[in-house]
Amino acid sequence: MTTTTITPSPRPTTTIVPGVQRTLKNRVSIAETLSHTVTMAYRGLLKIKRTPEQLFDVTLQPIIFTLMFTYIFGGAIAGNVQNYLPIIIPGILVQTVITTSVVTGVQLREDMDKGVFDRFRSLPIARIAPLSGALLADTVRYLIATTLTITMGVIMGLRPAGGMGGVVAAALLVIVCSWAISWIFAFFGVIARTASSVQGISMLVLFPLTFLSNAFVPANTMPGWLQWFVNINPVSHLVTAVRDLMNNGTFGADAWISLLGAAVIVAIFAPLTVKAYMRKA
Amino acid sequence: MTYSASTSDWAVEADGLVKTFGTNRAVDGIDLRVATGTVYGVLGPNGAGKTTTISMLATLLKPDAGSARIFGHDVQRESQVVRQLIGVTGQYASVDETLSATENLVLFSRLLGLSSSQAKVKAHDLLEEFHLTDAAKRPLKNFSGGMRRRLDLAASLIAQPPLIFLDEPTTGLDPRTRMQMWDTIRRLVSTGSTVLLTTQYLDEADQLADRIAVIDRGRVVAEGTSNELKASVGESSLELRLADNRDLDDVRVAIERVLGVDPTVSPEAGRITAPMNNPDRVTELLVTLREEGIHLAELSVAKPTLDEVFLTLTGRGVDDAETENTAELEGSRA
Ligand SMILES: Nc1ncnc2c1ncn2[C@@H]1O[C@H](COP(=O)(O)OP(=O)(O)O)[C@@H](O)[C@H]1O
Ligand SMILES: [Mg+2]
């Protein structure tokens, strides 16, 4: 465009370039799409900075859950707290970060109902940018939740045998998988009418998935029919993969299954979400 | 695919635009022609279809039928091109409430392709131009209606678009802020912008617009310059209330004969309203009425209001139009 020249004078007297004299294009390039996505993600981060209270769930849940679950179940399940930490911290980590990904859908719905969304739609930017930007910005929440949970564990006495490398790999795996899962909630966010209904549906999906898993209690203590579900639940595989990485430093079959699951979710829900979103955007 | 200059003198060409919500034909076949470099006013009461029309022209809403071109570019096939040519200031604030004024302007500038430092300069300049520098860092929650509108308009001007849509830019503003907004709009036009604005106020359209389209229930019911429009309604209007309602017919005949216009009669109120092109003739009318022994309870002369424009053009008042719209809405919900 020919209009990006900046006039430093407070009252620009430049006349506007007439519409018929401009060179215009009807396509947005991939590079531009990426740049718009990053700018939208920057907006997401600014919003987090402006309204830090919306980080309460991300910050408080890991702290409270770690304290609560460890002291309540620790003795019963692992004999003592110290032995329970390597089991429970990966469980809470997965549960917390996945729960955090619900926010993506809720906020997307809220955002799409606001006036500023009309402005985004009237700008010559990639249609997908507000959506992709939101998904990108939310990885920062996952990072915060991950860091806090692991730090809590270390404070309470967790000494991951997998070493720093194992912990970092585990954290990355959780963030990647949660990002994949956030596409499901983004889909709800796009098709739902209200933000609270997004919250409702998402929790309904999330609760069985996170609690009917091996996150808090070993599967072999459960009745047979439940074990069957717990063992096929992708969340269980993710929890096992995180335990392997943190406690042994090994990247095993469960980790591959988790990544495959994440890829499948993205393959299904990304096109669905984008399609539904484009229809509204 | 790049589009080079097309030779269109029209900033906006709309043909037979239609948008239906359920059974409600919000926009029912609207044609518009807005010449480049002019201010065009779309005048109509609440629910007439102004916002829906703008949304279709600004690529925010897909028309059910009809087509529109902005500087010759089709809003549906070349929507991304159209978006490079327009700035939209919606009826409701289209800025991010959680960010500050500066952050909003920097965000939109970045999206429009300015570098980080260019965006900061742009935001700074626009805030200064719109007298918002003092409030630049404050959260928008504490902004007054006028400040919000100014920020909204500033955000629409970042790319210096040759066409700007303003949806009810002064509704809800106090008179002083309203005047400031008018000045701003005039300044915009002097830099070569084309402006399409909607309003519910005849005086606003009168003050700002070169041409006006009056719309009602999704249709254009009149189109022309402010003077043409006023001439069709009368420069001012004469309102008579009679002491005795039985004289209504005689008065109507007298008005037709002396003033040469068609008056509007409201029998329940015992009231007659007539456009008054030539105030001198009123004396003649009054003399005629006295000669015929007709007594007046009240006489007043008023500048035409949107209500009268409406009454003349559609045979109903603005209030009726709104009531009907509400009734339709309730009907569709039931
Ligand atoms: N999104 C929508 N869904 C259903 N009805 C709508 C929608 N937007 C507008 N309408 C209806 O369309 C009509 C025209 O609305 P609008 O264009 O907002 O009028 P105006 O801007 O002139 O006040 C109204 O009857 C309104 O209720
Ligand atoms: Mg409106």
Q: Which domains does chain B have, with CATH numbers?
A: 10-231 (3.40.50.300), 237-302 (3.30.70.260)
Q: How is residue B25 annotated by DSSP?
A: E
Which among B8, B59, B129 is the nearest to A20, CB-wise?
A: B8
Instruction: Quick: pLDDT tens for B190-223.
Output: 888 999 999 998 889 988 999 999 999 999 999 9
Sequence length of chain B is: 334
- A72 band by pLDDT with thresholds 50, 70 and 90: confident
B44 lines ligand 1 (CB under 6 A): yes
Q: From B92, B84, B172, select the one nearest A17 (Cα to Cα).
A: B84
- Per-residue pLDDT of B291-329, as tens digits, reads 988 888 888 887 766 666 777 777 666 665 555 544 444
Instruction: Kindly state the DSSP code that residue B167 receives in the 8-state scheme.
Output: E
- Using the CB atoms, write b or e for B49-61: b if 16+ within 10 Å: bbbbbbbbbbbbb
In A19-156 the beta strands, taken as DSSP E runs, fall at 24-25
Q: Band the pLDDT of A49: cuts 50, 70, 90.
A: confident
B20 lines ligand 1 (CB under 6 A): no
Q: How many CB atoms lie within 10 A of CB B242?
A: 20
Whether A156 has a pLDDT exceeding 60, the answer reads yes
C-alpha of B140 from chain center: 26
Element (H, E) at A183: helix A163-191
CA nearest to B77 within chain A = A26
Domain boundaries along the sequence of chain A: 31-280
List of E strands, chain A: 24-25
pLDDT tens for residues A86-108?
988 999 999 989 888 888 888 88
How many whole angstroms separate alpha carbon B116 and alpha carbon B124? 12
Query: Which residues, at least 6 apart from A140, have a Cβ–Cβ distance to it below 8 Å?
Result: A44, A45, A48
Contact: B70, A19; criterion CB under 8 Å: yes
The dihedral through the CA atoms of B95, A5, B4, B194 has a sign that is: positive
In angstroms, rounded to a whole number, what is the distance separating the alpha carbons of residues A196 and A50?
A: 22
**Residue range A8-23, pLDDT digits in tens:** 333 444 567 776 667 7
Which tens digit of pLDDT belongs to each residue from A229-264?
Answer: 998 899 999 999 999 999 998 998 999 999 999 999
CA dist., res. A280 & res. A117, Å (int):
11
- pLDDT over 70 percentage in chain A: 93
**What does each C-alpha distance from B18 to B68, B198, B304 come to in angstroms?**
11, 18, 30
C-alpha B167 – ligand 2 centre gap (Å)? 7
pLDDT at A4 over 80: no
β-pairing, B39-43 vs B211-216, is parallel
Contacts for A173 with CB less than 8 Å, ≥ 6 apart? A238, A241, A242, A245, A255, A258, A259
Q: Which of B42, B50, B52, B217 to mutate to test the pocket of ligand 1 (most atoms within 8 A of CB)?
A: B52
Task: Return the structure tokens found at A72.
Answer: 């309540």
The reply to whether residue A47 touches residue B72, judged by beta carbons under 8 angstroms, is no
CB A241 within 8 A of CB A173: yes
Q: Which is nearest to A180 in space by CA: A145, A211, A139?
A: A139
B45 alpha carbon – ligand 2 mean position (Å): 9
Q: With beta carbons less than 8 A apart as the criterion, state whether B211 and B196 touch.
A: no
Cβ within 8 Å of B, A 66-105 = none
Written as six digits, the tokens of B215 are: 């719309």
Of A32, A36, A119, the CB nearest to B155: A119
- DSSP state for residue B133 in the 8-state scheme: G
pLDDT of chain B, 334 residues: tens digit per residue: 444 444 458 999 999 999 999 999 999 999 999 999 999 999 998 999 999 999 999 999 999 999 999 999 999 999 999 999 999 998 877 898 889 999 999 999 999 999 999 999 999 999 998 889 998 888 888 888 888 888 999 999 999 999 999 999 998 888 888 888 899 899 888 888 999 999 998 889 988 999 999 999 999 999 999 888 877 766 677 888 888 888 888 889 998 888 888 888 888 778 888 887 777 888 888 999 999 888 888 888 877 666 667 777 776 666 655 555 444 444 443 3
Best residue of A123, A125, A127 to probe chain B, by most B CBs closer than 10 Å:
A123
A26–B78 CB contact, under 8 Å: yes
